[in-house]
Structure 1
């Protein structure tokens, strides 16, 4: 059950981050300031879903890895530390700042500097979570193959 919770929470977090990034890029490149404000508002409120999903992903991952060691486990743990720090120190403050600035109509240099930082942090999150997703699939590959053979 822990594996299902971990995989579900991690996948949802990955999808949410990808949605945040895609929405931001589309709004910035193709839409008007009102749309950018709507996207920043959605991201601000979406963080209230993303943060618990990331906590569930990290907590369940550390629980699943409690009795395991090795290269994949250690790499996933190291990535989660970076993901957590990036989320708390970069992504969350950027989302709050951009939400307030966009809703105040302040699309100035500061807004765009923080927007670039948020995009870079989001790309890093997406990349690291994708690597963890890949490594998690590798770690459970034998278990999935056995389950498939037993079901047949």
Structure 2
């Protein structure tokens, strides 16, 4: 696969992952503070069923990013990889289990007790991942812009 194809896949996958996480976060925020219980249940189901899309986008962004980075020690790449490690751990240890827990509790119609606490935890963890992925997107765009000016 050519480097330019890999760059396109990485950018599209990363943007998709950020968009999905931001959408999940927005839905969770609205459902927590403004929605009726029936709407909360529906939104939690949407998030639960769309979770595989997020996992695929993140896996594709991570794999293509790792391939593009190679063994580079450039500070921007090292920083992007460090942010991705934190985002991946946050996703695997907090966001995915929270989404599953909340989706299953919503399916059962149980929005009481731990639901609100886990929802709050998920909102905080999701905000962290939005920031981390946003910083990575900004760094990637800056790297691409610098490369364009060097080759022009």
TM-score range, shorter chain: over 0.9
Choose from 122, 139, 143 the match for 2:143: 139
Uncovered stretches (5+) of structure 2, i.e. residues with no partner: none
Displacement of 1:67: 4.3
C-alpha separation in 2, matches of 1:32 and 1:26:
10
Residues 1:26 and 2:30 are matched in the alignment: yes
Partner of 1:57: 61
What CA RMSD, in Å, does the superposition of the two structures yield over aligned residues? 1.4
Partner of 1:17: 21
Choose from 8, 11, 20 the match for 1:4: 8
Displacement of 1:142: 2.6
Residues 1:94 and 2:107 are matched in the alignment: no
What is the TM-score with the length of structure 1 in the denominator? 0.92
Deviations 1:67-89 (A, max 9, x none): 42221111101011111111111
What is the TM-score with the length of structure 2 in the denominator? 0.92
Aligned length: 148
Uncovered stretches (5+) of structure 1, i.e. residues with no partner: none
How does 1:52-131 map onto structure 2 within 5 Å?
52-131=56-135
Deviations 1:23-44 (A, max 9, x none): 1111222220111111111111
C-alpha separation in 1, matches of 2:89 and 2:9:
22
